[in-house]
Homo-oligomer: A and B are copies of this chain.
């Protein structure tokens, strides 16, 4: 992997998974090389944007020859840390937690779900995607015995801050938060908030613009 001396802007980081995903599809189609132009058309980003993005990581390509698809795919996967075998737990086994536990794409990307927790007696002991739901009371115990990198928070808003703090205290380094609140931790804890109604509001804005 190329060294990362330049600070990579957040928007570039956000595009990496899309590149990765698209390159994975090209591999399936047995495409060996692709130019930044061809890639740009498919990805709806300009070719110069793609070259700029890739330059943060040393470039990857030979001008004029295009990119080696498999090499690029593997390099981006490496940059994204997808080969690190990150483990995840889900706290909150409601509909959303269940949907995520059953989400095949997570495992495909190298993430391993190792535990699901809930506080509801009716849910504890049920099996989702081959994993038995544990009581959230056992969280610390479980985390002491198992390395967990990422906590996926699908608990109600009122419980999310406390749950997040419990996970972080036990060494979890990344949080994916679905509750409608922002989580604040030191920089060494990575947080991604998924606010579905923000997305719906953005959609509403675009619809309104299109009407005008």
Q: Which residues of A contact B (CB under 8 A)?
A: 4, 11, 13-14, 16-18, 20-21, 44, 79-82, 84, 86, 88, 94-96, 98-100, 102-103, 105-106, 108-109, 111, 149-150, 173-176, 180, 182, 187-190, 192, 194-212
Cα separation A212 to B5 with both chains bound (whole Å): 11
A210 touches B198 (CB 8 A): no
- In the complex, what residues of B have CB within 8 A of residue A79's CB? 205, 208
Instruction: Report Cα–Cα, A196/B50, bound state, in Å.
Output: 22
Report A209 CB to chain B, min CB distance, Å. 7
- Closest Cβ of chain B: how far from A138's Cβ, in Å? 23
* Complex interface: chain B residues within 8 A of A80 (CB): 201-202, 204-205, 208
Is B149 touching A207 in the complex (CB atoms < 8 A)?
yes
When all copies of this chain in the complex are counted, the total is 2
Would you call A95 and B99 a contact (CB within 8 A)?
Answer: yes
**Shortest distance between the CB of A176 and any CB in chain B (Å):** 6
Q: What would be 6 A-B contacts, judged by CB atoms less than 8 Å apart?
A: A17-B198, A79-B208, A81-B208, A94-B99, A96-B99, A109-B197
Q: Is the CB of B190 within 8 A of A203?
A: yes
